Structure 1
Amino acid sequence: MHKKPHLPEKICPVCQRPFTWRKKWAKDWDNVRYCSERCRRSRSGQS
């Protein structure tokens, strides 16, 4: 069975949870900051 053991991770600045690399972010991983659209939209409430 194929597992994904070594994918890069980041911490979401809004919810402080770790999130891992996803294929849809492959071309833009350096600019991904938020784990979800919900966190991206609520970023203004947090510093």
Structure 2
Amino acid sequence: MHKKKATSFSKKKGQLPTKICAQCGLPFEWRKRWERNWAEVRYCSDRCRRIHHLTHKR
């Protein structure tokens, strides 16, 4: 038998932490791939991250 991997959030999908995207302003939920660096996540997608960096070049 295969055991399921334990996640750091033992909550249901609707109860996961959320943040507001710094580019588009829409809310997004915690994802497993952001488990280690959730505190640094600012954008909901790679697209928003790229657009933000393109429009805010120095």
Provide the TM-score with structure 1 as the length reference: 0.82
Give the unaligned 5+ runs of structure 1.
none
Q: Percent identity?
A: 55
Give the unaligned 5+ runs of structure 2.
1-11
Equivalenced residues, count: 44
1:15 aligns with 2:10: no
Aligned partner letter, 1:41: R
TM-fit CA distance, 1:5: 2.4
Secondary structure, in 3 states, of the residue corresponding to 2:33?
helix
Provide the TM-score with structure 2 as the length reference: 0.68
1:38 aligns with 2:38: no
Runs of 4+ in 1 over 2 A off after TM superposition: none
Report 1 or 2 for greater relative contact order, CA contacts < 8 Å, sequence distance ≥ 6. Answer: 1
